[in-house]
Amino acid sequence: MTPLEFDFLKKYLKDRSGLVLSNDKQYLVESRLLPVARAAKLDTLSALVCALQRGGNRTLENDVVEAMTTNESFFFRDKTPFEHFNDTMLPNLLEARTRTRSLRIWCAAASTGQEPYSLAICLKEAASKVAGWRVRILGTDLSNEVLEKARAGLYSQFEVQRGLPIQLLLKYFEQKGDIWQISPALRSMIEWRRLNLLESFSYLGEFDIIFCRNVLIYFDQATKTEILDRLARSIPDDGYLVLGAAETVVGLSDAFKPVPGRRGLFQRKQTEKASIPAPAPRLAAGLVGAR
């Protein structure tokens, strides 16, 4: 692949997904896109670049973006955000929402589904506290491929061993040969949608909690700021934003303030915000008090 072809791919991917690639990532591009080229019956990456430049092949265009933006995930990743969910976010919001008895949670970079399912497990484990509540969980990602895997709730032995305690595995999964499938009760709690964070998501309405972890690190500063400001318009004053361990709002957005003593957890500053279109679309809902 020539330097000009690599420059084309860098711009192509940034324009379509926000992904910013440094010059030392050419090896990563080649390793991920060569299989895409071969699947499309293209002999070289140069031929792939030519096909993208010609345009008109939506399947190839989507395959290229998905190959470069697919990231790994695992259950209860980093532990701390889920501890914050159990000991801070959930108790505070249950007290604040006693009238509506409703919560909306969005995992904005859901990948293969481990994060939304981890939250669903937390809610099931807190069933006595949320009995009768209507909890909606939305999982979105840019990649249709990972969303299909998430929707099926099927994971290998290796995947369920990463971060998932054995007692929760046996409680919420069914083994099917070498594969484990998460229970129908948990799958029914989550709706999956394809969504590009570079595009408007105001039509989704407000969420009490937004998990947007380990995705902003791939964007440039201007894109991070723009996404954070739009996320702020999707969270009420007492709602929460959860970022990854290596992510922050400092120097990027004045719309959020950190929650003291809770690393990676933020709330929107109480300033007037733009109105959110209503009503929000109906999402899959589960009464989490029942299994």
The DSSP secondary-structure symbol of 200 reads: -
CB 152 within 8 A of CB 181: yes
Residues 88, 259: Cα–Cα separation, whole Å: 10
Residues 121, 244: Cα–Cα separation, whole Å: 20
Strands 209-211 and 190-194: unpaired
To 10 degrees, the CA torsion angle through 95, 86, 218, 114? -120
Alpha-carbon separation of residue 178 from 74, 175, 181 (angstroms):
18, 7, 10
Q: Quick one: which H or E segment has residue 256?
A: strand 256-258
Return the active site residues: 32, 141
The residue behind tokens 């939305």 is: 138
Give every CB contact of residue 103 below 8 A, 6+ residues apart in sequence: 93, 97, 130, 133, 134, 135, 136, 208, 209
Q: Residue 236 corresponds to which tokens in the numbers above? A: 């009420």
DSSP, collapsed to helix, strand or coil, labels residue 136 as strand
Q: Quick one: which H or E segment has residue 140?
A: strand 134-141
Strands 209-211 and 154-156: unpaired
The DSSP secondary-structure symbol of 267 reads: E
Residues 160, 179: Cα–Cα separation, whole Å: 9
